[in-house]
Amino acid sequence: MVSENNYGLAEGAIQPGPWLSAMTLADVLARPSIVTAAFEEPASAFQTIAIRKRGTDWVVEVPGGHSMSPVFLMSVEAIADLLSLPPGWNSYSARAIDPRNAVRAIRLLGDVLDRESSPPAVVPRVQGGIQLEWHTASVDIELYIDTPERISWFAEDVEAGEGFDGPLAGNEAQLKAWVKRASGR
């Protein structure tokens, strides 16, 4: 359970059935220090994730195809938890996580994860970025979000002798295929 002063996922606010209208979104967001998944009208191909902490709101639109799967929601909560890290969280001079990197990580996972995906490990980076990792017996994937515009990733399948190391831009479909591979598909 996440304390009221930190980010957390308000499971009671997630409505898997009926859609919440935009009129009720403000009511949902009025709750202090929570991460809330709220759905927009079905006419939109996107769903909205709202992250709120200490009066600051970040709203993230993600593709609606993953239907807010448990893996996606766990990942959103882990990313939101990183936003509670203060400057110097590593006992040295690490920067606080940049909220723009958190928003980009959530959008990226909205594109990459599906209902059968394995969840990534969510790791803070000392310069305010976020690292997403998938590790299995033979497949390793590490995705580095240094800024919303500067994202790179590395993947290796030891058994197959295959790998990738490069930018995300132009390689999104390849990343999705690697995540499926790491999920055993």
Q: What is the pLDDT of residues 16-74, one digit of tens each?
A: 333 333 334 444 444 443 444 443 334 345 667 666 665 566 666 665 555 578 898 88
Mean pLDDT of 123-148: 96
**pTM for this prediction:** 0.71
d(CA 164, CA 57) in angstroms, rounded, equals 36
d(CA 111, CA 137) in angstroms, rounded, equals 25
The mean of the pLDDT values for the chain is 76
Q: Which two tokens stand for residue 21?
A: 């209208």
For residue 62, what pLDDT is reported? Answer: 63
Q: Residues 69-106: pLDDT tens digits?
A: 889 888 988 998 898 899 999 999 999 999 999 989 99
Pairs from 27-36 (Cβ < 8 Å, separation ≥ 24):
29/57, 32/4, 33/4, 33/5, 33/6, 33/7, 33/8, 34/7, 34/8, 34/9, 34/10, 35/7, 35/8, 35/9, 35/10, 35/76, 35/77, 35/80, 36/10
